[in-house]
Amino acid sequence: MAVSIAFHAPVKVQVQKDLKELFLQLKFSRRDLIITEERVYQNYLKGIVDDCRVVIRDLLGRGPNTADTVEMAFKEAGSSYDRVIGIGGGAVLDLAKLLTLERPVPVKSLFEMRENIRKTRSCVLIPTTPGTGSEVTPYVALYISELGQQLILFDDELYADKAYLCPEFIKNMPFSPLAASMHDAFTHAFESYLSPLASPFSKTICKEAMQILTKAWLEIAKDGVSAIQDNLLNIQLAGSMGGIGYANAGCAAIHALSYPLSVRLGIHHGEANYLVAKEVVDLYLKKNPLGAIFDIATSLAPLLNTSPEHVFDTIDNLCQSILPRKRLSAFGMKENQILEFTDLVLTRQNLLISNGYVQLSAGEIANIYSKLI
């Protein structure tokens, strides 16, 4: 009997060594709509994209994309554009994807009823952080303020036509967001590898991403962040590999538990993953130590010069030496929020929980938050 292996990676990813080469490839025109951030515009794009319509994501409001954010972006964008170019972090890339669609009215209908998902313009995505992976996924996140929750839209219409990686964008990135983005990329690859939906193709890509990021952490711990300046392209590649992994196999409990930390406490998504990862991994190892998680440990053990049994403790110690983990109380979490956060995970992130390497109970989730507070 034939075995069906599902794997899909439709985005063409192209590497450009520097911004000059990238801009020559893009050939900006007045029919382009640029979605970006103030920092990126001022440092890299000002004077280059003067003929284009430019929407600065920061000026539409802080925090995650909301229905209001998207409505304002559509209003600013107008209709005289044929190509959307998103240059920025995850929120920018998500917004760019939405602006390639026939305008939904209201925007929430896209997420609540999946109406009007029809792509009418080409899409080019260029990440300026190494961890989002959004440039190669068919996902868009939107925070619905009246519901107090984040909804995820996924559809093949949301895939970009092309993605570019250019390490010059992260060359001068402050260390803290860089480290958080690397953790985000590692978590995408880790959870996708463990997913019951993983295929041999996605696993191979995810394993390579984890190895690249582990090597980078070792370099930073040994010689400081400057040690990876010649390795930034590989870190970007790892981010896209993680994105391809979760586009095919999805994420799970680490992302689910980090969700309340981001929406309630305002913690950067990548750092939120880092804060909960160790406790989730320890639980995975306790409940099923010899499954796919042992495959990951076996592949990383030689890099870390340790045995597979000690890989995840070694990684945690390594990361703690680079970016010490804070208590959740330092971000304002209170004891009385443990049950609220647990409920958010089980009711709003149930698809991620059900996609887990092992299933976690409400008591186990609450216990993780209790340990971390």
Averaged pLDDT in 10-residue chunks for the chain of 373 residues? 70 96 96 97 96 96 90 94 97 97 82 80 96 95 83 92 96 90 97 96 98 97 90 96 96 95 92 97 97 98 98 97 95 97 90 90 97 97
* Cβ pair 338, 373 in contact under 8 A: yes
CB-based contacts of 249: which residues, under 8 Å, 6+ apart?
A: 192, 193, 195, 197, 198, 199, 202
- Inter-CA distances, 69 with 57, 76, 120, 128, Å: 8, 11, 20, 20
* Cβ pair 235, 170 in contact under 8 A: yes
Residues 284 and 247 reside in one and the same domain: yes
Q: Among 22, 273, 230, 9, which Cα is nearest to 132's? A: 273
Whether residue 193 is contained in a domain is answered as: yes
**pLDDT given at position 165:** 98
Residues 133 and 197 reside in one and the same domain: no
Residues 204 and 123 reside in one and the same domain: no
Whether residue 141 is contained in a domain is answered as: yes
Parent domain of 193: 175-372
Whether residue 44 is contained in a domain is answered as: yes
**pLDDT given at position 122:** 98
Whether residue 5 is contained in a domain is answered as: no
Residues 180 and 163 reside in one and the same domain: no
Residues 111 and 180 reside in one and the same domain: no
Q: Among 269, 286, 309, 298, which Cα is nearest to 357's? A: 286
* Cβ pair 126, 166 in contact under 8 A: yes
Question: How far is 342 from 320, CA to CA, in rounded Å?
Answer: 25
* Cβ pair 245, 192 in contact under 8 A: yes
Residues 164 and 180 reside in one and the same domain: no
**pLDDT given at position 150:** 83
Q: Which residue bears the tokens 């190895």?
A: 211
Residues 165 and 241 reside in one and the same domain: no
Question: How far is 110 from 261, CA to CA, in rounded Å?
Answer: 25
CA 275, 276, 279, 284 torsion: positive or negative? negative
Q: Can you give the CATH number for the domain in which 130 is found? A: 3.40.50.1970
Beta-strand relationship, 12-15 and 162-165: parallel
Q: Can you give the CATH number for the domain in which 332 is found? A: 1.20.1090.10
Whether residue 6 is contained in a domain is answered as: no
Residues 130 and 211 reside in one and the same domain: no
Residues 316 and 184 reside in one and the same domain: yes
**pLDDT given at position 1:** 42
Residues 119 and 191 reside in one and the same domain: no
Phi–psi pair at 326, nearest 5 degrees = -95, 155
Phi–psi pair at 39, nearest 5 degrees = -60, -45
CB count within 10 Å of CB 152 equals: 13
The residue type of 153 is L
Q: Among 105, 72, 78, 100, which Cα is nearest to 160's? A: 100
Whether residue 276 is contained in a domain is answered as: yes
The residue type of 87 is I
Residues 54 and 187 reside in one and the same domain: no
* Cβ pair 115, 153 in contact under 8 A: no
Q: Label residues 2-30 b or e (16+ Cβ within 10 Å = b).
A: eeeeeeebebebeebeeeeebbeebebee
**pLDDT given at position 5:** 63
Count up the domains in the chain and report the number. 2
* Cβ pair 324, 221 in contact under 8 A: no
**Boundary of a domain, candidates 111, 146, 169:** 169
**Boundary of a domain, candidates 108, 139, 169:** 169
Whether residue 275 is contained in a domain is answered as: yes
Whether residue 3 is contained in a domain is answered as: no
**Boundary of a domain, candidates 146, 169, 192:** 169
**pLDDT given at position 115:** 66
CA-based max dimension of the chain: 60
Residues 201 and 144 reside in one and the same domain: no
DSSP 101: B
